[in-house]
Structures are given as C-alpha cells and as structure tokens.
Amino acid sequence: MSDIKSFIGREAPITPYHATEEKLKAFCAAVGAKYRGEAPPTFMAVLLPGMFKLLDEIGIPLSAVLHTDQEYCYKQPILPNDRLTYVTKLVKALEKQSKTGSMKFMVFETSVTASRAGGSDIEVGACKTTIITRD
C-alpha cells in the first residue's frame, strides 16, 4: 500500500441516487423512524459507497475498517423523488505507529446535492466520516 497521505484530495466519481418515496419509507422502517414525508436525519448514511470506492482504490479492505465518527450537516430536507448526486473526497489522512503495528486515520467528506422538479440543483447537506484501520 502507498503512503496514505498521497491519497488526500482524491475524489470518488460523482454518484447519482434517486430518493424515491419507497426508499425513504424503507429506510424509516429499517431504523424504526416514523415516515414524515422526508428523509430522516441519518438517511445520508446510505451514501457511503463513494467512501467504499476510495478505500478500494487505496487498497484497504472493509474488514480492516473501524468506523469511529459520523457527522451530518443539514441544509435542506431530502424529499421523495429528489435526484441526489454526491461526491466523496478523502480530506485528511495520517498514520501512527503503535506497539502492535501501524494505525491509519482517515476522514472522508461527502457533499450531497438534490435536483428537484421545476428547480435547480440545491445543496441538501454533507457528511463527514472518520475511520481507523490497523495493519
């Protein structure tokens, strides 16, 4: 595996996601939330495939990942039939040595935009994910 810092700034391809009412209701049912005509606060968690693509490019298997932190920034609600696009970027990475090997800390940021009928694209939110891996 290359030096982890050499991957800082790398972005996963822009990814589309159609937030249908069925998908929003299914997510609500899965997390035990009542459907209220918009996505619940944690819905942006379904937009992690960009991070998975970057981890694959870096050469880190998901089995080596420990999810340590998740932050969300909400600007607008995600509504049924929003056509979301999201892009994920590795914004911070560092490696620390311990007695048992090295640990890599990585921070990914994902920005989320929605296209709505009759309107232009609007930024609906962002999420920041922090993970640790061990060698």
Q: Is residue 96 part of a domain?
A: yes
* pLDDT band per the 50, 70, 90 thresholds, residue 76: very high
Tell me how far CA of residue 24 lies from CA of 2, 86, 113, in angstroms. Answer: 39, 17, 16
Q: Is residue 111 part of a domain?
A: yes
* Structural domain containing residue 127: 4-19+47-134
**What is the tens place of the pLDDT at every residue in 48-72?**
889 999 999 999 999 999 999 999 9
Q: Is residue 81 part of a domain?
A: yes
Q: Is residue 31 part of a domain?
A: no
Q: Is residue 58 part of a domain?
A: yes
Domain total of the chain: 1
Q: Is residue 53 part of a domain?
A: yes
pLDDT for residue 2 = 58
**What is the tens place of the pLDDT at every residue in 17-49?**
999 999 999 999 999 999 999 999 889 989 888
Q: Is residue 117 part of a domain?
A: yes
Q: Is residue 8 part of a domain?
A: yes
Quote the pTM value.
Answer: 0.88
Which CATH number characterizes residue 75's domain?
Answer: 3.10.129.10
The 10 Å CB-count burial string (b at 16+, else e) for 75-108 is: eebbeeebebbbbbbbeebeeeeeeeeeebebbb
Q: What mean pLDDT is predicted for residues 93-117?
A: 91
